[in-house]
Structure 1
Amino acid sequence: MTASIRQQLAFVRPIPRHLVHRASVAEVYLTDAVAEGQDRFLVAAQWPRDHALYYPDGNGCVDPLLFVETIRQALVYLAHQYYEVPLTHRFVGRDMDFEITDPDLLKVGATPLPVVLEVAWAWTGHRPPQRYGMRIEAVLTVGDVPCARGSLRVVAVDEKRYGLLRRRGGLPAGPGRAADRAAQAERLPAHQVGRLRAKDSVLKSAGRPGEWDLELDLGHAILFDHPTDHVPLMVLLEGFRQLGYLQTTEGDAAVPHTLTGASMDCLAFAELDAPIRLVMTQHRLPADAGSPALLRVEAVQSGVLLSTVSMSWAAGSRAPAAAPGLV
């Protein structure tokens, strides 16, 4: 049955951008979805061969954060299209995790990569119509073969309850500011954090052992695809990823590592107009050549713990050096 349902999936064009909360059509990866049974779906997506931020690693494999963004889009799309969650509701991320189980299937080839998510839907803390609590478990398949898994839990609330949640955090919900040139100059060089373009680096040294500052540019066309009143989950995850790369790849002679898994909890809203510190709380080196490096990082703002993440990084082959002057 699954095989025949898969044949119904189309990869011709992206779904409407508003159904995945994106302003740019270029940032929409989903192309179709079909129901496979009660609260089970097949979701089709097409991944680009290259991307300004989510580009292939030195081994030619798809950026794992592209997988995470596809999970996010799948949850939002299914919520609106199949479960009638209002488009006016605000979505707030609670937790996320993923694991790459077969990276060889995620090699970028001569054409964009068609993938299918096998999605299981569940309600959590569900009190409609004001509050919709939802979670999806997704298995990523390429050519019908599983190669990764992930999950995402979100709550969607109406404007009244969203306002209550925002005030409960105790921090001002200001509009924030775009990073000025002086702040951009303080960021770590892009090649040190595993990025190609200087404007994609979001880290700067905090001047304290084990701590870094998250330096955001609200004008970044991908990280901030549309205006928002807080720092999105995917932006925090990008900061965590860059810090992980920095810690696992030391010096130009080192072999770069690849992010193969992460588990992230979101505990409070991250505001746009107050400094955010990333604090390394654990860095466990691999026990042998085949073991991953394990890292744990916390995001803290004004004394409030915003988010925690545990990451797994595997050593890969040496990648070509990136030009640090790209902008």
Structure 2
Amino acid sequence: MLTSARPAVTRPALTTTVAKEYVHRAALSEVFLTGWEQAGPDAFTVTAQWPRSHSFYGSEHGWYDPLLLCETVRQTFPLLAHVAYGVPFGYQLSWSRLQYAVDPRALRIETAPADVDVHAVFSDIRSSRSLPTMMTVHLEVVRAGVLVATASTRFGCHSPAVYQRLRGERGHTAAVFAGAPRPPRAVARASVGRRLAQDVVLSPATGEGRWRLRADTAHPVLFDHAVDHVPGMVLLEAVRQAGHACQGGVGAWTPTSMDISFHRYVEFDTPCWIEAGPREERTAPAPRRTVRISGRQGGTPAFSATAEMTDVHSL
């Protein structure tokens, strides 16, 4: 009796993204994380993939956008808060501070999407009823064995009841989002290093180095889903665009490092003014310049940031 054995089939490792709910995104296309594993006590490795092209975090100069790194960091902390620390869905996570620094030469776009490893270590964890209420996470982002960036961020975790007490009437997300005013007109795209007018988050204002924040809630990436306040990633983009504008709109300036503190929620219904601090005095062109950008709303500081802007043409 003849028998035949099927040859063993070697199946390739399959890659997919993590569930979009873990990173607080509505669109699957905006999920960059692909997996996670625990590496030790309060230590984890998260894998991610950066697309070679993106509708918002794109580049015309052959280098990945550092704000794509920031969005990867932003997705990392809700993922791990949910899967590793048991934070339930419906809890609100709020940024307190973000610091990052990238090696711009490690951001070159190659012939395939960039697979990166994010090594995250949590510290200074404050808890209530066995759930974290405030956490700090330090991250190292590695690509093909090369350190791309370091980052550190601190954020709070608020239960629905606590968040409602914090926000009051402003916490009714659907109504607040639906009632957001139409965005004011944008500054010239070239002045802030953007190709599309819809991607501009600054509006003209009186005075040098001063703009009004432009929050277009119809933007498919910056406002991927309904929210009750302006997201932190919009404020990072405002820092980037203001930093570019401070260079006179000449060159291809990108924020290769940033230290930003968030002081309060930025609301939709009141103008938020973006202001640049004193410019560095330079006697000759330089490929890196430090800018100080702040936001004020209702006469109160909303955020403050220091960023190092690098002209990628110099790389």
Give 2:5's aligned residue: none
For residues 201 and 290 of structure 1, the distance between their equivalents in structure 2, rounded to whole angstroms, comes to 25
Q: CA RMSD in A?
A: 2.4
SS for the counterpart of 2:163 is helix
For residues 31 and 45 of structure 1, the distance between their equivalents in structure 2, rounded to whole angstroms, comes to 5
- Taking structure 2 as the reference length, the TM-score comes to 0.88
Q: Tell whether 2:138 aligns with 1:137.
A: yes
- Distance verdict in 2 for CA 1:128–1:144, change over 3 Å: farther
- Distance verdict in 2 for CA 1:288–1:11, change over 3 Å: farther
Structure 2 residues not aligned, in runs of 5+: 1-12
Q: Which of 234, 254, 277 pairs up with 1:258?
A: 254
How far residue 200 of structure 1 moved from its aligned partner, in angstroms, is 0.6
Q: 1:30·1:74 contact (CA, 8 Å) conserved in 2?
A: yes
SS for the counterpart of 1:225 is coil
SS for the counterpart of 1:284 is coil
For residues 14 and 268 of structure 2, the distance between their equivalents in structure 1, rounded to whole angstroms, comes to 36
Give the structure with higher Rg (CA). 2
- What letter corresponds to residue 261 of structure 1 in structure 2? S
- Taking structure 1 as the reference length, the TM-score comes to 0.85
Q: Can you list the C-alpha shifts for 1:52-89, whole angstroms capped at 9, x where unaligned?
A: 1101252x110000001101111110110011011121
**For 1:274-313, what aligned pairs fall within 5 Å after superposition?**
274-285=270-281, 292-313=288-309
SS for the counterpart of 1:283 is coil
Q: 1:134·1:155 contact (CA, 8 Å) conserved in 2?
A: yes
SS for the counterpart of 2:226 is coil
Q: 1:296·1:309 contact (CA, 8 Å) conserved in 2?
A: yes
For residues 176 and 280 of structure 1, the distance between their equivalents in structure 2, rounded to whole angstroms, comes to 31
Q: Can you list the C-alpha shifts for 1:77-132, whole angstroms capped at 9, x where unaligned?
A: 011001101112111111101101x2222111111110111111124443345752
- Distance verdict in 2 for CA 1:177–1:191, change over 3 Å: farther
Give 1:149's aligned residue: 150
- Distance verdict in 2 for CA 1:282–1:50, change over 3 Å: same
**For 1:22-41, what aligned pairs fall within 5 Å after superposition?**
22-41=25-44
- Distance verdict in 2 for CA 1:305–1:285, change over 3 Å: same
Structure 1 residues not aligned, in runs of 5+: 1-9, 320-327
Q: Report how many residues are paired.
A: 300
- Would you identify which runs of 4 or more consecutive aligned residues in structure 1 move more than 6 Å? none
Q: Can you list the C-alpha shifts for 1:205-239, whole angstroms capped at 9, x where unaligned?
A: 11223310011111111000000001111111111
**For 1:1-80, what aligned pairs fall within 5 Å after superposition?**
12-58=15-61, 60-80=62-82
Give 1:158's aligned residue: 159
For residues 193 and 290 of structure 1, the distance between their equivalents in structure 2, rounded to whole angstroms, comes to 18
Q: 1:130·1:157 contact (CA, 8 Å) conserved in 2?
A: no
Give 2:205's aligned residue: 206
